[in-house]
Structure 1
Amino acid sequence: MSDLPETPERIIAPVPRITIQAFCETAETAGLIEAAGDDRRMQKAHIKVQMGGGPAAVEAYRHAPTPNVVIIETQGAKAKPLECLDALAEVCDPGTKVIVIGHVNDVSLYRQFIQRGVSDYLIAPVEPLSLIVALSDLFTAPGVKPVGRTIAVFGVRGGIGASTVAHNLAWSIARGQGTQTVIADLDIAHGTASLNFNQDPPQGIAEAVFAPERLDAALVERLLSKCSDNLSLLSAPASLDRTIDVSEAAFDGLVDHLRAAVPCIVLDVPHQWSAWTKRVLVGADEILIVAGPDLASLRNAKNLFTALQAGRPNDRRPRIILNGVGVPKRPEIGAADFAKALEAPLFASLPFEPALFGAAANNGQMIAEIQPGAKAAEIFSDLAAALLGRPETRRARGTLLEPFLEPLRARLARRKAS
């Protein structure tokens, strides 16, 4: 039977461009399948739901070709599921995969289904994400490495520091978590990733976006600029030689190639609201929203939550970071009030430290390289661990050692006093 739904340790691969037809016996199952069809991972698939169960499927395919996947709901022995599957086998085209949704948890029945070539057997009621897992697994070859995780970073207004957060996050994932990571700068006209990482690559993301017919794994590999052992950069040209009018699906192929090659991809999404930016955000495995402690940021964050929710019904809500907190003499919305108004917890608040962030930007370095013990560096480290579903080892280690360090501190204090 199907694997468990998506977890922090496992990312569900998007379902490929296939046709799926479902024949249901209950309105509840039909509704669940339709809900699954609205999920972002089903974006490329075409799904059609109708009633009638197995007999309707057999009748439908007597004089019509079968789709890539047929989903049959059966309510038990009275529906004669085995006889129905035998009849369906006579009209199914070679290569068609069959998923059965049943209401009986019977291992013997499951084995008989598998013997007849059924690809998977799910027990009703089926959660949309469980069905998506089953469909995804049908087209994932055994032994293929897991699909990479995409993390989209987006600022609720211009100049809020989202790119700085994205770059430091990618660096922390690569360095602190030991995970191969790509930072992809999607701001083709004004991207700053190459400056922040002190790189000057001759090629970058524009070559992939403006010539999609040339896009393949080899080209993507050539476009990546190596920043460190685990971190690579897909830079933006930051040129105004041409206007940037790309289609809604302009980045789909590039992201697919990166997901197949790298465990983690951080997408630095520019602050603009277009068809392609919305598509990139909705399609990401994790979304990190960067806001400021002000009314405009709060309004924009609330609007963004609403806009993304419809396309991500089975996903975690975006994580929120307040940036530039504590500007002297500036009235601010407190973190608790911001979270209450947004009806969502904040992950962290980055302090206003212009000297530290300015030095890092001018030197082409990350915060942890300039000042490893800075609060901001710790926040990026914790965020990297949280997004990968790993424990925050830095804090855990400090907590465990605390009882042993306290006596040593006391002895040192007594020596200084004497």
Structure 2
Amino acid sequence: MASAASNLSTLFGNQVNEDFMAFVDDEQTLEIFRQEASENGWSVDAILDGGIHVAVDRIEAGHSPKIIFADISRSLDPEGDVTRLVRKMGPDNSLVILGASNDVSVFRRMVALGASDYLVKPITPELLADAVQRLDQASSANKLSKGSRLTVIIGVRGGVGASTIATNLSWIMANEEKLTTALIDLDLHFGTTTLALDIETGGGFREALENPHRLDKLFLDSAISKSGDKLAVLGTEEPIDEFVDINPDSVDALIGEVNQDYNQVVIDLPRHLLPSQGALLASADTVVLVADQTLAGIRDINRITQAMTSLSTKGRILRVVSRVGADRAAQVSKSDFARALEEPIDCTIPEDAKTLTICANAGKAIPSVATKAPISKALRELAAVVSDYQEPKKKGFFGRMKKSKSKVESNNS
């Protein structure tokens, strides 16, 4: 899995522009993109012959450019292809669809599926430049208005390490990526996030869920437990003989209040709550499905992936295989596991019983105890993809495009 700054060189060569790629089905449109590339200093290696089906095959979750142009003219299942590609792209990345139909209903459908724009062929240099300018304006507006990023983490089976992943991703975001992060553990009876970080549970979490009309900043602050300056945790240990009703309205109200103060909101969602939390899953920027490398893991990750397709979510679905190691009982082989899955795995978290035991006994996050261990490296890579964390980089596609347009306008004046 790539780090936060998506490194497309691993897929397409060192000269590829990491900010955009185009997948085009006809020679005329290819020539237009190549001409624009030549004039604006983009890499022509990022312009590929082949439509959206090629994009779906080549782009992997966490490896997406900031902008993708994809041609659906020859697609046998355009809506399905767009849905699959959108789910591989981060919520801050943009997909522009190229198509032959000039029907406004097609435009609306593409946008509803998650595309940023729809361009009718034949494409001209002016049409392409205007499309990029609109994306630039939309990107600037989103940066001003964007709230927090919502990630939902689900263990498709018990004991696969989903809570461990949720806790450590949140810790990494807060302590290494320096993002204000809220971790919400919706297992109200047996949640382990506060225990894993050695902090006391707050006193008002259950009340916040049972009385969403009472939610305000003061009420929420009383329920939050802090782990350092940037990590807030909402968890509780309710009596096991007491039923707690978690309804969708309560969760929506809670997230609406939390995301005003935090860059990242991570929810550890027990799988038994899946039937009641369709709205939460549909609104998530990323859903992380965690399985182990077993036959039951194959069955359950496939079943939940299928169920997710009916929710019309625009977020990514990341499939994570956890606790992978030669000493794990009942594991199937890696090749058999991959063949049996309906979608590819995005990340593998290795088993590290020694480190997990030390962390559990000390109440510390894995990267703080075993900084250079393979499990810490895998967790950091997953955290970067989930949070879209990026190191500062040189001016990219938008900046060059704006500079080029300014130069043209100056020459024409």
TM-score by length of 2: 0.61
Aligned twin of 1:349: 348
Alignment partner of 1:370 is 2:369: yes
1:206/1:236 contact within 8 Å kept: yes
2:154/2:268 contact within 8 Å kept: yes
Cα distance in 1 for partners of 2:93, 2:175 equals 21
Cα distance in 2 for partners of 1:174, 1:224 equals 15
Q: Runs of 5+ in structure 2 lacking a partner?
A: 1-66, 69-85, 95-100, 124-129, 393-413
1:249/1:276 contact within 8 Å kept: no
Q: Which amino acid aligns with 1:236?
A: T
Cα distance in 2 for partners of 1:236, 1:283 equals 24
- TM alignment of 1:263-278, pairs within 5 A: 263-278=263-278
Cα distance in 2 for partners of 1:214, 1:381 equals 37
1:335/1:346 contact within 8 Å kept: no
What's the offset of the Cα at 1:296?
A: 0.6
What's the offset of the Cα at 1:11?
A: 8.7
1:292/1:323 contact within 8 Å kept: yes
1:185/1:234 contact within 8 Å kept: yes
Aligned-partner SS, 2:191: coil
In the comparison of the two structures, how many residue pairs are matched? 297
Cα distance in 1 for partners of 2:381, 2:341 equals 22
Q: What percent of counterpart residues are identical?
A: 25
What's the offset of the Cα at 1:216?
A: 1.9
Alignment partner of 1:168 is 2:243: no
What's the offset of the Cα at 1:392?
A: 8.3
- TM alignment of 1:60-209, pairs within 5 A: 146-209=146-209
Aligned twin of 1:71: none
What's the offset of the Cα at 1:155?
A: 0.4
Aligned twin of 2:385: 386
**What value does the CA root-mean-square deviation take over the aligned residues?**
4.1
Which of these two proteins has the greater Rg computed from alpha carbons? Answer: 1
Aligned-partner SS, 2:384: helix
2:184/2:266 contact within 8 Å kept: yes
2:166/2:268 contact within 8 Å kept: yes
2:196/2:364 contact within 8 Å kept: yes
Alignment partner of 1:335 is 2:359: no
Aligned-partner SS, 2:317: coil
Write the deviation string for residues 238-291 of structure 1: whole angstroms up to 9, x where unpaired: 433521233233301111122222100111111215433333223211111111
What's the offset of the Cα at 1:353?
A: 2.2
Question: For residues 11 and 225 of structure 1, do their structure 2 counterparts lie closer, same or farther at Cα, with a shift above 3 Å needed?
Answer: farther
Question: For residues 266 and 332 of structure 1, do their structure 2 counterparts lie closer, same or farther at Cα, with a shift above 3 Å needed?
Answer: same
Question: For residues 385 and 145 of structure 1, do their structure 2 counterparts lie closer, same or farther at Cα, with a shift above 3 Å needed?
Answer: same
Aligned twin of 2:360: 361
Cα distance in 2 for partners of 1:322, 1:283 equals 25
Cα distance in 2 for partners of 1:224, 1:205 equals 8
2:184/2:233 contact within 8 Å kept: yes
Q: 1:30 aligns with which of 99, 105, 113?
A: 105
Question: For residues 274 and 287 of structure 1, do their structure 2 counterparts lie closer, same or farther at Cα, with a shift above 3 Å needed?
Answer: closer
What's the offset of the Cα at 1:35?
A: 6.8
Cα distance in 1 for partners of 2:292, 2:325 equals 7
Q: Which amino acid aligns with 1:296?
A: A
Question: For residues 241 and 31 of structure 1, do their structure 2 counterparts lie closer, same or farther at Cα, with a shift above 3 Å needed?
Answer: farther
2:282/2:313 contact within 8 Å kept: no
Aligned twin of 1:117: none
Write the deviation string for residues 344-384 of structure 1: whole angstroms up to 9, x where unpaired: 33233222222221221122111122222211111111111
Question: For residues 332 and 257 of structure 1, do their structure 2 counterparts lie closer, same or farther at Cα, with a shift above 3 Å needed?
Answer: same
Aligned twin of 2:261: 261
1:189/1:237 contact within 8 Å kept: yes
Q: Which amino acid aligns with 1:320?
A: V
Q: Whose RCO is larger (CA < 8 A, sep 6+)?
A: 2
Aligned twin of 1:237: 237
Aligned twin of 1:281: 281
2:191/2:235 contact within 8 Å kept: yes
Q: Which amino acid aligns with 1:387?
A: V
1:185/1:191 contact within 8 Å kept: yes
Aligned-partner SS, 1:260: coil
Aligned-partner SS, 1:153: strand
Cα distance in 2 for partners of 1:388, 1:248 equals 24
1:289/1:318 contact within 8 Å kept: yes
1:250/1:276 contact within 8 Å kept: no
Q: Which amino acid aligns with 1:260?
A: Q
Alignment partner of 1:320 is 2:320: yes
Q: Which amino acid aligns with 2:166?
A: A
Q: Runs of 5+ in structure 1 lacking a partner?
A: 13-25, 40-100, 106-121, 394-418
2:184/2:265 contact within 8 Å kept: yes
Question: For residues 102 and 221 of structure 1, do their structure 2 counterparts lie closer, same or farther at Cα, with a shift above 3 Å needed?
Answer: farther
What's the offset of the Cα at 1:340?
A: 3.3
Aligned-partner SS, 1:147: coil
Write the deviation string for residues 18-55 of structure 1: whole angstroms up to 9, x where unpaired: xxxxxxxx99423553675687xxxxxxxxxxxxxxxx
Aligned-partner SS, 2:316: coil
Alignment partner of 1:306 is 2:381: no
TM-score by length of 1: 0.60
Q: Which amino acid aligns with 1:208?
A: A
Aligned-partner SS, 2:187: coil
